[in-house]
Structure 1
Amino acid sequence: MKKYILTSLVAMLFVGCQTADDVNSDPHATYETTPEALITYAQKELSDYMTTPSVNENNFRLTMQYWQETIYVNESNYDFTNRNVSNNVWIDNYVNVLKNLDQAKRIINAYVPTFQEAATWPGIKQNQLAVIDIMQVYTFQILVDTYGDIPYTQALDIDKYPLPKYDKASDIYTSLIDRLKTDITNLSEDSDAFGSGDVFYKGDISKWEKFGNSLLLKLGMSLADVNPTLAQATVNQAISGGVMNASGDDCKFQYLDSSPNENPVYQEVTSRNDFIAGKTLVDYMKSTNDTRISVYYRGPIGGQYIGQIIGAPGAFGSFSKPGTFTRDATTPGILLSYTEVAFYLAEAAARWGIGGSPSALYTTAVTSSFSDWGKDADAAAYLAAHPYDASNWKKSIGEQAWVAMYNQAVTSWNFYRRLDYPQLVAPTTAIPNAGGKVPVRLQYPPAEATTNGSNSAAASAAIGGDKLTTKIFWDVN
């Protein structure tokens, strides 16, 4: 595809190495670009958000009590206002991801192929638009699961809707499911898409099909308690369509060993000594003799892994630290993993008898997590000591998903809110706005109240109050 000169471009940066021309270019001007460049950038921004432990942006490793802060413990106590966390999450997903994907879609729809391209362009175009829309579905789900009602139908046309209305979260979910079904149908392995511009799957449409069905499974499972009819239909369609069935299907962003493209966890943990192990997970893993602890954390103290009390500061040298994988610049960012999918399948079987034996699928999910962390040989013994409990399947699946999603903290938060396990306890030092509980949503960005006040206020009223304790519509227990 030929390059286009854009009349407007939101937050466009280039992921590759800089050249002399890049350095001398005005960063506020608009330049030639292609959909591939926009896709690469959007994928990196999406991965960065899901991966980073930055206290300015993604605090879910703290919320899920995997890590604890050393000195500045505001975020461990759920003070997300001090650093404008909600504003940053909103901008990252709406501007850096969704708007760039939307711009790529506009370029593709406007493109007139050359004579040589005319025969193959329709198939390529259809694949490209499907891949873009799948990523938009993924991102909108993140936003709904974080805030509840959000701008959706008017969100990306800022010229027509500079102050977009907020749509009902349950309606958005229904729309996302319908969109995703269409996207999966439109994918064709007979045509190309974005090639190497697609960092996730390098243009492999068969992988995008599995990702799409796995995302459909995830959307369906989120609705399990609030709309079981739609949930089961969606889950059945996802499974029959073909979800991820091996770790090779994982959706990952491969980071590089050079600035600015290192893993954002590496950037955070190697620049400051801000994070130590959280007592909640450390104590749980010690009590279950979980050998993954040696990968999750480093620095045993006197032969023992030690985590700090959640919400309390702690000297860096007195507690275990995040594992060595966090100090590798090339550790991939994980968007959706086979292990995550395996836990959804176990949950679907436990709830509705879909897809097989709950016990067998639980075993598959836990084993997959051990394999992810290079502890394959230890999985069987662990499962023998901690088998599936049919009498309290939410506890079995919820606690094991919590452990397994250690490096997918945003996803872990969803499992926690849906299954109500593990039973995390908020620190006594938590801010009053948390109501003595672990947060179940983020509050709307203050910037929205300032610039889009009427719509933001209406949404706050519709969801039952703009609070950390206001549950997302699917979180009914």
Structure 2
Amino acid sequence: MKKIGIISLLIILFFNSCSTDDINKDPNSAYTTTAESLVSYAEKALSDYNNTPNVNTNNFRLLMQYWQETTYVSESNYNFVNRNVADGVWNENYVKVLNNLQKAREIINAYSPSPSEISTWDAKKKGQLAIIDLLMVYTYQTIVDTFGDVPYSQSLQLVKYPLPVYDKGADIYVDLIKKTQEALTNLNGTPFGDGEYFYKGNSGKWKVFGNSLLLKLSIGIADSNPTLAQQIAQVAISGGVMMSSADGCQLPYQLASPNFNPLYSELVASGRDDFIAAETLVDYMINTNDPRISSYYQKNKDGVYVGQQPGKAGLIDVFSRIGTFAYTRTTPGTILSYTEVAFYKAEAAARWNTGNAAIEYENAVRASMKEWNIADDLAVSYIAAHPYDNSNWKKSVGEQAWVSMFNQGLTSWNFYRRLDYPVLIAPETAISNAGGKVPVRLQYPGREQTTNGTNWSAASAAIGGDRLTTKLFWDKN
């Protein structure tokens, strides 16, 4: 991992302006930084990464054949090397998110409360660290699910470990579960203020998020560590996971630059038209009479929905544009949605009888319909026409999760790799390194090969080769 310091943007507060009465103080120096401002920055960075369609960092909508590129189709054909995509992913998560959260942790641990704060500081401190831990758990899971074995135990300690070792993904998952459970026991009151943008520091909402994250972790290792997975899934569900869209974790983007949604940034503010609908999902939705198609896509110049074949370029007016939500400045940035959690509950019920699988499946599809403002009667008709199939639950859950996770590409990729549905076919024009298949991981950053070569080489050997086709430890089928 390249040694990168905390970036100067740490002081730039999202939705706030930074000012000082002392002109002799540098507003971009570390002494003006508060833990809450670092959390603010990290949360926006995390949301920006999750939601951007920028091909330098987030190509999961292309992988899952939701979107297609209009002109430059390298990423649609899985060439992620030209733009150093993996380096971008590494930087977004390790530097912009995790490094800032780690700095916030250090500030909190070093803080000396005033006499009036002493009686309440211990609980507040625990709560602040718990929220930071949950954000870090979420981010590390994202990194593991993208690459496999990654720096963990020695990461974020760049002075002591400038070249960190890579920990096994399976071991990281176990520790993330432990950290999540510990964080849940320390949440109380409102440890952060409005500068914590996801839940405004509300511990009750963070507990629901934490249990939902615990369920996500358990489902992630359902095939690689089924005993632990089942145990943790039951603990998470009984602890209280998301039950409606009001529980969802989102960033509320604003009208003004640079705080509008990164979708708007790439599709409108950039002045470019780089994306159109992909044929795979468009045809599936047409064939299944899915009412969400009008929310996902716009009709082309001829008044119909048309998607381009994955891997091929296409004219913007011939094929469908992405839905109007992507052209809207204030579309919220999704971190963890109720729809996603509902599908985890459906999968848990199918695997371990934690509930009625058919009902949980229907709840999940209905949650997606509501998320996209589809009328209840249309949702009921759609579910009746596409009932849960107990004999092939992976197909039922996998295909519907694929459709429902339209704006959550990485999450959709996880469902796809775990359940092997839907059946996606790689473009004939895809790079040879993909082996004729949709990639199941990203290769490690080129920068890691040159600056942390020994540990990169060991990790590559441990996972079975640093290739797009190397399955992660939890991808067993």
Shorter-chain TM-score range: over 0.9
Bigger mean CA deviation after superposition, 16-25 or 309-318: 16-25
Q: 1:205 to 1:158 in 2, by over 3 A?
A: same
Please state whether the residue corresponding to 2:400 is helix, strand or coil: helix
Letter matched to residue 94 of structure 2:
Y
Q: Is the 8 A contact 1:11 1:95 kept in 2?
A: no
Letter matched to residue 401 of structure 1:
A
Question: Aligned partners of 2:224 and 2:182: how far apart in 1?
Answer: 24
* 1:30 shift after superposition: 3.8
Question: Aligned partners of 1:86 and 1:9: how far apart in 2?
Answer: 20
Q: 1:20 to 1:209 in 2, by over 3 A?
A: closer
Unaligned ranges ≥5, structure 1: 1-7
* 1:16 shift after superposition: 3.4
Aligned to 1:264: 262
Q: Is the 8 A contact 2:300 2:318 kept in 1?
A: no
Letter matched to residue 262 of structure 1:
F
- Structural mapping, 1:40-79, within 5 Å: 40-79=40-79
Question: Aligned partners of 2:115 and 2:447: how far apart in 1?
Answer: 48
Q: Is the 8 A contact 2:49 2:92 kept in 1?
A: yes
Aligned to 2:199: 201
Letter matched to residue 50 of structure 1:
N
Q: 1:123 to 1:29 in 2, by over 3 A?
A: closer
Aligned to 2:351: 351
Aligned to 1:471: 471
Q: Is the 8 A contact 1:9 1:30 kept in 2?
A: no
Question: Aligned partners of 1:28 and 1:339: how far apart in 2?
Answer: 39
Please state whether the residue corresponding to 2:394 is helix, strand or coil: helix
Please state whether the residue corresponding to 2:258 is helix, strand or coil: coil
Among 4, 9, 14, the residue aligned to 1:12 = 9
Aligned to 2:95: 95
2:402 aligned with 1:402, yes or no? yes
Question: Aligned partners of 1:424 and 1:317: how far apart in 2?
Answer: 26
- Structural mapping, 1:13-412, within 5 Å: 13=10, 14=12, 15-18=14-17, 29-188=29-188, 191-270=189-268, 271=270, 272-354=272-354, 356-377=355-376, 378-412=378-412
Q: 1:286 to 1:432 in 2, by over 3 A?
A: same
* 1:203 shift after superposition: 1.3
Bigger mean CA deviation after superposition, 163-172 or 297-306: 297-306
Q: Is the 8 A contact 2:18 2:27 kept in 1?
A: no
Q: Is the 8 A contact 1:279 1:308 kept in 2?
A: yes
* 1:195 shift after superposition: 1.1
Q: 1:109 to 1:290 in 2, by over 3 A?
A: same
Question: Aligned partners of 1:212 and 1:376: how far apart in 2?
Answer: 31
Q: 1:196 to 1:20 in 2, by over 3 A?
A: closer
Letter matched to residue 244 of structure 2:
A
Q: Is the 8 A contact 2:20 2:27 kept in 1?
A: no
Say how many residue pairs are matched.
Answer: 467
Unaligned ranges ≥5, structure 2: none
Between the aligned residues of both structures, percent identity stands at 59
Q: 1:466 to 1:257 in 2, by over 3 A?
A: same
Residues 174-222 of structure 1 deviation map (CA, whole Å, 9 limit, x = unaligned): 110111111111112xx32111011000111111000000000000001
Bigger mean CA deviation after superposition, 21-30 or 239-248: 21-30
Letter matched to residue 160 of structure 2:
K
Q: Is the 8 A contact 1:148 1:473 kept in 2?
A: yes
Q: 1:110 to 1:147 in 2, by over 3 A?
A: same
Question: Aligned partners of 1:30 and 1:127: how far apart in 2?
Answer: 23
Please state whether the residue corresponding to 1:196 is helix, strand or coil: coil
Letter matched to residue 330 of structure 1:
T
Residues 214-250 of structure 1 deviation map (CA, whole Å, 9 limit, x = unaligned): 0000000011111110000010110111101111000
Bigger mean CA deviation after superposition, 15-24 or 368-377: 15-24
Q: 1:57 to 1:27 in 2, by over 3 A?
A: farther
Please state whether the residue corresponding to 2:216 is helix, strand or coil: helix
Residues 319-348 of structure 1 deviation map (CA, whole Å, 9 limit, x = unaligned): 000000111111011010111011011111
Please state whether the residue corresponding to 2:118 is helix, strand or coil: coil
Question: Aligned partners of 1:277 and 1:472: how far apart in 2?
Answer: 29
Q: 1:20 to 1:119 in 2, by over 3 A?
A: closer
Question: Aligned partners of 2:315 and 2:335: how far apart in 1?
Answer: 32
Q: 1:27 to 1:111 in 2, by over 3 A?
A: closer
* 1:24 shift after superposition: 11
Residues 347-390 of structure 1 deviation map (CA, whole Å, 9 limit, x = unaligned): 11111111x21110000000000000000321000011110011
Question: Aligned partners of 2:433 and 2:104: how far apart in 1?
Answer: 40
Question: Aligned partners of 2:160 and 2:7: how far apart in 1?
Answer: 16
Q: 1:395 to 1:262 in 2, by over 3 A?
A: same
Question: Aligned partners of 2:25 and 2:344: how far apart in 1?
Answer: 47
Q: 1:45 to 1:25 in 2, by over 3 A?
A: farther
Question: Aligned partners of 1:371 and 1:163: how far apart in 2?
Answer: 47
Q: Is the 8 A contact 2:6 2:95 kept in 1?
A: no
Q: Is the 8 A contact 2:60 2:409 kept in 1?
A: yes
Question: Aligned partners of 1:166 and 1:447: how far apart in 2?
Answer: 15
Aligned to 1:4: none
Q: Is the 8 A contact 1:127 1:187 kept in 2?
A: yes
Question: Aligned partners of 1:440 and 1:57: how far apart in 2?
Answer: 16
Letter matched to residue 238 of structure 2:
S
* 1:10 shift after superposition: 3.4
Q: Is the 8 A contact 2:296 2:323 kept in 1?
A: yes
